[in-house]
Structure 1
Amino acid sequence: MPDATAAPDATAPASTRRGGGRFPDGPAADPAGSREEHRIRSFHARRGRITHAQAAAIERHWGAWGVELDGRPLDLAALFGSAEMPVVLEIGFGMGDATAHMAAADPGTGILAVDVHTPGQGNLLALADRAGLTNVRVANGDAIVLLRDMLAPGSLAGLRVYFPDPWPKAKHAKRRLIQPSFLALVTPLLRPGAVVHCATDWEPYAEQMLEVLSAAPGLVNAHPAEGFAPRPDFRPLTKFERQGLDKGHVVRDLLFTRV
């Protein structure tokens, strides 16, 4: 696979360089150097405990399959080695099991999978290696930096956000990812016909998603009569979904198309 990252700038602050600590050539703790931002984040960067297999996958594959969200423009054709391959962005892939499943089922589509959880990054790299997948790239850092600074208009064939943190307390609802400001960044990056697919098992968040997506210029609901969509066959059950179902939660899918 092509190298997805440029050589680090030796003059850059240490926080923006790749790796450090256990993974000197792996995912950086803060690839964008926070970019002097003070906005509310919808995530917390987590290193967490990592298995030997996950660590080995990072050490072996990060240089070729890893992407640092450092704010520099990203050429998706070069990243995936094809100008013809449509690329779908997935934000928050957890441990990567569902991502790997979807990549294996649709090898003609590239998946740019973003997360900040080091064990999950290592696990997805290990799954991709084990399955011989050539259409997955693992991105580390803040997805907002990617959307705002790194992607060209009309460059994405879709967006997937499955079971994002629901921030259930009312005072924390402003931290939820699916907001009008988020969609204002996303929509121009989607080509006509691109699909925005969200899923959640938290009913208040599902209602918010439906309201925000329905009001977003350039997006139309694929299931306008029902509002919510049945789970499409291509989305496998995730760990978080099973946990929600075990608790009696109702899982909602939302499918919107870029016009």
Structure 2
Amino acid sequence: MSDAQERAWAELAPHMVLNVERDAAATSILAGTAVDPAAVWEREAPLVAEIGSGQGHAIVHAAASAPDRNFLAIEVFRAGLARTMLDAERAGLQNLRLVEANAPEVLQHLLPAASLDELWVFFPDPWHKNKHNKRRLVTPGFAPIAAGALREGGMLRLATDWEDYALQMRDVLDEAPEFERVFEGEWAERFDGRILTAFERKGARAGRAIRDLAYRRVVRA
């Protein structure tokens, strides 16, 4: 990390990064150690989490644009979290927290059930080689995990610039009984709450179409 990122970790992390109990791995979360969102953010407000927040461009912009909401950045790369904290400090944000951990464990163990109003998965690693496809986040096993963290009626928003991954995401979520589409046709309209990031620009320059998807957590009758 740069000197500025090292400073961010030393000075800002104690307040902004959630201190979690680990299991065996450095980025794991021990089961049964859920946080209380109202205590973490020091208020009751709708909660939005982004999986794979990278350097934080999307979530910092979102948190600045919606001060009435709480935001959680989920990322495993410390340098990206440090950059996110620097930008959040510059913007004077009080509604953003971060966690250095594997996303499925955050959803399963750290966040209470049905605590999220929205969950974002923007430009996840496509693992585009066939032999690596199994490492992708959005698989049939992901759908119930995501559903468990979302309140009924909560939104799952996704975007990718890899066509085959977009098709996989759509197939997975169309078949998941916990979710229902909130778009017509092949793809959702571009989510206007998502700032244009370097990942999206890179995909567009390479001629790849950006695919958005939006699903609602089914409300039980």
Q: Please report the TM-score for the alignment, with normalisation by the length of structure 2.
A: 0.91
Match of 2:194 among 235, 250, 254: 235
1:115-142 deviation per Cα after TM superposition (whole angstroms, max 9, x unaligned): 1111111110011111010111010011
Partner of 2:50: 90
Contact (CA 8 Å) 2:144, 2:178: kept in 1 or not?
Answer: no
| Aligned residue runs from structure 1 range 91-110, under 5 A | 91-110=51-70
How far off is 1:203 after superposition? 0.2
2:4 maps to amino acid: A
8 Å CA contact retained: 2:126, 2:162? yes
Aligned pair count reads 208
Other-structure match for 2:26: none
Does residue 124 of structure 1 match 2:84?
yes
CA contact (8 A) 1:201 1:244 kept: yes
Give 4+ residue runs of structure 1 displaced > 2 Å after superposition.
Answer: 68-71
Structure 2 residue matching 1:79: 3-state secondary structure: helix
Residue pair 2:143, 2:178 contacting (<8 A) in 1 also: no
Residues 17-36 of structure 1, C-alpha deviation per residue, up to 9 Å, x if partnerless?
A: xxxxxxxxxxxxxxxxxxxx
Alpha-carbon shift at residue 68 of structure 1 (Å): 4.0
2:7 aligned counterpart, secondary structure: helix
Distance 2:7 2:171 in 1: 43
1:216 lines up with 2:176 in the alignment: yes
Larger Rg belongs to: 1
How far is the alpha carbon of 1:151 from its aligned partner? 2.1
Deviation at 1:227, TM superposition (A): 3.1
SS of structure 2 residue aligned to 1:67? coil
Verify: 1:63 aligned to 2:14, yes or no: yes
Residue 56 of structure 1 deviates from its aligned partner by 1.1
Q: CA deviation at 1:110?
A: 0.9
Deviations 1:17-70 (A, max 9, x none): xxxxxxxxxxxxxxxxxxxxxxxxxxxxxxxxx122211111111111101453
CA RMSD after TM alignment: 1.1
Aligned to 1:245: 204
Alignment match, 1:12: none
Matched, 1:52 2:3: yes
Q: Percent identity at matched positions?
A: 40
1:78 aligns with 2:39: yes
Alignment match, 1:14 = none
The structure showing larger relative contact order (alpha-carbon pairs under 8 Å, at least 6 residues apart) is 2
Deviates more, 1:209-218 or 1:195-204: 209-218
CA distance in 2, matches of 1:123, 1:149: 26
**Mind listing any 5+ residue stretches in structure 1 that lack a counterpart?**
1-49
SS at match of 1:100: helix
| SS across alignment from 2:151 | strand
- The CA distance in 1 between the partners of 2:108 and 2:16, in whole Å, is 22
Q: CA deviation at 1:95?
A: 0.8
Aligned 8 A contact 2:108 2:149 in 1: no
Partner-residue secondary structure (3-state), 1:88:
strand
**Cα distance, 1:218 vs structure 2:** 2.0
TM-score, normalization: structure 1? 0.78
8 Å Cα contact 1:210-1:227 kept in structure 2: no
Q: Contact 2:108/2:148 (CA < 8 Å) preserved in 1?
A: no
- Secondary structure (helix, strand or coil) at the match of 1:179 reads coil
- State how far apart, in whole Å, the 1-side matches of 2:97 and 2:80 are: 13
